Chain A
Amino acid sequence: MFFGAEADDGSVRAPAYFARELGEALSVELLPFDRVRVTFAERNPHFLDILANPRFTISHPRHLMEERIRAGEVSLTPSDVGLVGLGPFALARYRRGSLIRLERNDEYWEREGRNRLPYLDRIDYVVMPDPFAMDAAFRSGRIDGGARGQAHYLSQERREIYEAELGASVRFLEMEGGNFRLAFNMLKDGPWQDLRVRRAIALWIDKRAAIPAALGGSGWTTPDLGPSNIPVPRFFVNWPRFDREPLTERRERALELMAEAGYADGFSMGHLVRGINTAPGEFLKDQLAGLNIDLYLQIVDEGEWNRARVSADYDSQQGRLTPSPIPEGTESVYGRYSSNPDAYAKHEDPQLDRLYDRLRLATSQDGRIQIWRELERYLFVEQTYIVPIAESINVVPYRSWVRGLAVPSEDAHTFNDHATVWLDRR
């Protein structure tokens, strides 16, 4: 296991996304009996929690990959060398662009009661780039479950069609889908440098309207409205219980703040938008027009998006990754830009360093919750670097005979192993 990258000068650093969670790694040593010793520069009382992050589960078989990478194949992936693992299924067949077939691993270690897992003999993952084709294949019975992916998650409209046509023979898996937000680039000059402007924008946006308009109809704006099968870690979810006054009151205050800041006639602000999902950007443009803000959408393809979201070139953006379920993990998206280039809001505010340091060092649950609340208030209200708008829900259809599915508790990336799934085709 090695979750870092070795730089040319021999130093070791964790991948950017986890860099601040893990802290600085001084060394990684291979010990006898397949053990590894990782030495960090500072103590981290939540190290085991961080290791539990489901995003750490992909393993790269070094003995198969290292030699080829050193020979120049820098784009080598685990699937190129054959996946190595102890999971419930093994890769049996791979047809590029068409099919990934997994077959039962008879040596799998896990049991459910007295039963050996997994129950299924085979899973075919079919590559279907077009969501409409997936809908047709599902409705005609060619597939038992839908895909997990931005365009393939069901919108409310598609879900209603499924329900109308398939009735009780379809059910829906609802998973945490990440939040929709507006983040300012504080490293670039513009009217948004004025806190009153940022507050006005936060107060003006009709968050509830974002769910149908920007999130396909599935989402919530307070944890209370979330679907019951999403076990969000509520200890740490305070948001968005700020700015809970009626919309008309908030909007009156927003107009006052804009006038106080000298922007009653509005201004123009750029907004980075991912080409594969323009609805949130269009929603924001429509909303901010009410404040006389001309939000000009800078729609980019995936290549430019990957570059731009870690750059300070754009006035505002929505960010990409859902924060880690572990509070410390959110520093990669809420922390300062120089150490977290993927941060939603680009800022260099040392106060956030201090808050995260306190969070890392707090050892009691109450203490951690209190610091987290402070951090949220500072980020979303006192500074309003980020305007949280709504939380999306990813909806995946399954036929009713698919039983034993584990609903992912964090996000759609996790609990994909289908070890406990069985088919009830009576």
Chain B
Amino acid sequence: MGRAFGHRLGAAAIQLFFASLLVFALIRVLPGDLALSILADTPHTIETREALREELGLNDPQVVQYARWLWETLTGLRGVARSTGEPIRALVARQLGVTLLLALYAVTISLAFAIPLGIAAAHPKRRVLGAAVEGVTALGLAVPGFWVALLLILGLLRLFAWSPPIIYFGPLEFFSDHFALMIWPAILLAWQHAAHLLPVVRAETSRALANPFTVAARARGLSERRVLYRHAGRLALWPAISVSGVQFGGAIAGSLVLETIFGIPGIGRGLVNAALARDLPLVQTLVFVIVAIVLGVMLAADLLGLMLDPRTRYTT
């Protein structure tokens, strides 16, 4: 267990390192001068631009720039966002909390529906349910989330003359407003998440049902329901958690557009705003933070899998 844990932790660290290199390099290959992009809308002299380049460290070798940025990021997200003047640490803390809540709601909803539904749909006699699950899955994969979001808002407006709240409050401030705003993007993200999760749960349960141990369970007189949910379905849990880890990142990525549509001040909208304001150092840091979180969640899912399914401890 300890060795497997070490393997996964090491792999995550290497992935994070390469991700940081990639993020840094991608920002650098964008055309244009970063200092000029920042100053473009302000009357400035060449001296001012040079001073800013110096301040941003753009005159240093790329390796030095990379090392400094990584050090500042890893040692507490130091620095100030140029586009807003807000300390990056405070900005990330404020925005990330909102997005993580949204992603958490989405993943919780999708797990709560996808696991029992996927297990139930795996039973060979439940063809109608199976077809329904396939339909929901196909739509969730095919239909763009932002489009469904617009339809959803329009539908709420048409049917109930109601639209979601427009001011974001934390769950501890005004829970009812928080809930009424967050539930819709959470459901949409959960749907997309479940579209990936359902086929996995269903396939794993089907495979388990074909296993001899289920025949033995039936022979012992266990009910079909108990065989399905207690024995076969249990084997689908680990792949479901594993997929959820990956999809958690998808939920954060999916929030980019949904946060803008629903007016939620999360990191997705923050990233869009930073990109529009050409605050490339902030974009770089936010992307890295998102990558780190996704890797962290995937690692946590892996570790949970190690605990739930002993077989995986020997497959690394």
Using a CB–CB cutoff of 8 Å, the interface residues on chain A facing chain B are 5, 7-8, 13, 15-16, 72-77, 80, 95-99, 124, 126-130, 132-133, 136-137, 139-143, 301-304, 306-307, 310
Distance, CA A155 to CA B124, complexed state (A): 54
Please determine whether B262 and A307 come into contact, CB atoms closer than 8 angstroms: no
Please determine whether B167 and A99 come into contact, CB atoms closer than 8 angstroms: yes
Q: List 18 A-B residue pairs with CB atoms under 8 Å apart, sorted by A's residue number.
A: A75-B82, A75-B85, A80-B85, A98-B168, A98-B265, A99-B167, A130-B261, A130-B263, A133-B163, A133-B166, A133-B261, A136-B157, A137-B163, A140-B161, A140-B163, A302-B277, A306-B37, A307-B36
Indicate which residue in B52, B55, B84, B163 contacts A139 across the interface (CB closer than 8 Å): B163
B221 contacts the other chain (Cβ, under 8 Å)? no
Closest B residue to A341 using CB positions: B43
Return B43 CB to nearest CB of chain A, in Å. Answer: 4
Closest B residue to A143 using CB positions: B166
For A129, what are the chain B residues with a Cβ–Cβ distance below 8 Å? 260, 263, 269
Please determine whether A303 and B269 come into contact, CB atoms closer than 8 angstroms: no
Distance, CA A247 to CA B145, complexed state (A): 46
Which 4 A-B pairs give the minimum distances between C-beta atoms?
A97-B265, A303-B278, A306-B40, A140-B163
Return A74 CB to nearest CB of chain B, in Å. Answer: 8
For A7, what are the chain B residues with a Cβ–Cβ distance below 8 Å? 45
Known: A127-B265, A128-B263, A307-B37. A137 touches B85 (CB 8 A): no
Closest A residue to B150 using CB positions: A132
Please determine whether A97 and B278 come into contact, CB atoms closer than 8 angstroms: no
Indicate which residue in A137, A139, A301 contacts B276 across the interface (CB closer than 8 Å): A301
What 14 additional pairs, Cβ within 8 angstroms, besides A95-B168, A97-B273, A303-B37? A97-B95, A97-B265, A98-B265, A99-B168, A126-B166, A128-B263, A132-B153, A133-B153, A133-B262, A136-B157, A139-B163, A142-B163, A301-B278, A303-B32
Closest B residue to A124 using CB positions: B167
Distance, CA A76 to CA B80, complexed state (A): 11
B83 contacts the other chain (Cβ, under 8 Å)? yes
- Please encode chain B, from 147 to 163, with 1 for each CB lying within 8 Å of some chain A CB and 0 for all others: 00010011011000111
Please determine whether A142 and B165 come into contact, CB atoms closer than 8 angstroms: yes
B270 contacts the other chain (Cβ, under 8 Å)? yes
For A303, what are the chain B residues with a Cβ–Cβ distance below 8 Å? 32, 37, 40, 277-278
Return A232 CB to nearest CB of chain B, in Å. Answer: 27
Closest B residue to A303 using CB positions: B278
Please determine whether B157 and A140 come into contact, CB atoms closer than 8 angstroms: yes
For B41, what are the chain A residues with a Cβ–Cβ distance below 8 Å? 306
Please report the number of residue pairs spanning A and B whose Cβ atoms sit closer than 8 angstroms.
102
Known: A130-B260, A301-B276, A303-B40. A139 touches B157 (CB 8 A): yes
Closest B residue to A276 using CB positions: B276
Please determine whether B86 and A96 come into contact, CB atoms closer than 8 angstroms: yes
For B32, what are the chain A residues with a Cβ–Cβ distance below 8 Å? 303-304, 307
B127 contacts the other chain (Cβ, under 8 Å)? no
Distance, CA A75 to CA B163, complexed state (A): 36
Please determine whether A127 and B150 come into contact, CB atoms closer than 8 angstroms: no
For B269, what are the chain A residues with a Cβ–Cβ distance below 8 Å? 97, 129
Distance, CA A73 to CA B80, complexed state (A): 9
Closest A residue to B43 using CB positions: A16
Distance, CA A76 to CA B32, complexed state (A): 24
- Please encode chain B, from 244 to 284, with 1 for each CB lying within 8 Å of some chain A CB and 0 for all others: 00000000000000001111010001100100111000000
Return B258 CB to nearest CB of chain A, in Å. Answer: 10
- Please encode chain B, from 272 to 316, with 1 for each CB lying within 8 Å of some chain A CB and 0 for all others: 010011100000000000000000000000000000000000000
For B153, what are the chain A residues with a Cβ–Cβ distance below 8 Å? 132-133, 136
Please determine whether A137 and B83 come into contact, CB atoms closer than 8 angstroms: no
B94 contacts the other chain (Cβ, under 8 Å)? yes
Please determine whether B263 and A5 come into contact, CB atoms closer than 8 angstroms: no
Closest B residue to A75 using CB positions: B85
Closest A residue to B258 using CB positions: A130
Please determine whether A72 and B265 come into contact, CB atoms closer than 8 angstroms: no
Return A337 CB to nearest CB of chain B, in Å. Answer: 15
Distance, CA A233 to CA B273, complexed state (A): 37
Return B120 CB to nearest CB of chain A, in Å. Answer: 36
Return A414 CB to nearest CB of chain B, in Å. Answer: 20
Closest B residue to A275 using CB positions: B276
Please determine whether B43 and A15 come into contact, CB atoms closer than 8 angstroms: yes
For B270, what are the chain A residues with a Cβ–Cβ distance below 8 Å? 97
For A124, what are the chain B residues with a Cβ–Cβ distance below 8 Å? 167
Distance, CA A15 to CA B80, complexed state (A): 26
Distance, CA A377 to CA B90, complexed state (A): 55
For A13, what are the chain B residues with a Cβ–Cβ distance below 8 Å? 43
Known: A98-B168, A142-B165. A126 touches B43 (CB 8 A): no
For B40, what are the chain A residues with a Cβ–Cβ distance below 8 Å? 303, 306-307, 310
Return A250 CB to nearest CB of chain B, in Å. Answer: 37
For B80, what are the chain A residues with a Cβ–Cβ distance below 8 Å? 73, 75
Within 8 A of A (CB), among B11-61: 32, 36-37, 40-41, 43, 45, 47-48, 52, 55
Return A164 CB to nearest CB of chain B, in Å. Answer: 13
Most buried by A among B41, B47, B84, B276: B41
Within 8 A of A (CB), among B70-111: 80, 82-86, 94-95
Distance, CA A140 to CA B160, complexed state (A): 9
Please determine whether B55 and A126 come into contact, CB atoms closer than 8 angstroms: no
Return B213 CB to nearest CB of chain A, in Å. Answer: 52
Please determine whether B278 and A8 come into contact, CB atoms closer than 8 angstroms: no
Known: A303-B278, A310-B40. A137 touches B166 (CB 8 A): yes
Please determine whether A75 and B83 come into contact, CB atoms closer than 8 angstroms: yes
Within 8 A of A (CB), among B201-239: none
Distance, CA A358 to CA B58, complexed state (A): 47
Return B96 CB to nearest CB of chain A, in Å. Answer: 13
Please determine whether B263 and A98 come into contact, CB atoms closer than 8 angstroms: yes
Return B33 CB to nearest CB of chain A, in Å. Answer: 9
Distance, CA A75 to CA B83, complexed state (A): 7
Distance, CA A98 to CA B264, complexed state (A): 7
Closest A residue to B33 using CB positions: A307
Distance, CA A307 to CA B162, complexed state (A): 43
Known: A129-B260, A139-B163. A96 touches B150 (CB 8 A): no
Closest A residue to B275 using CB positions: A301
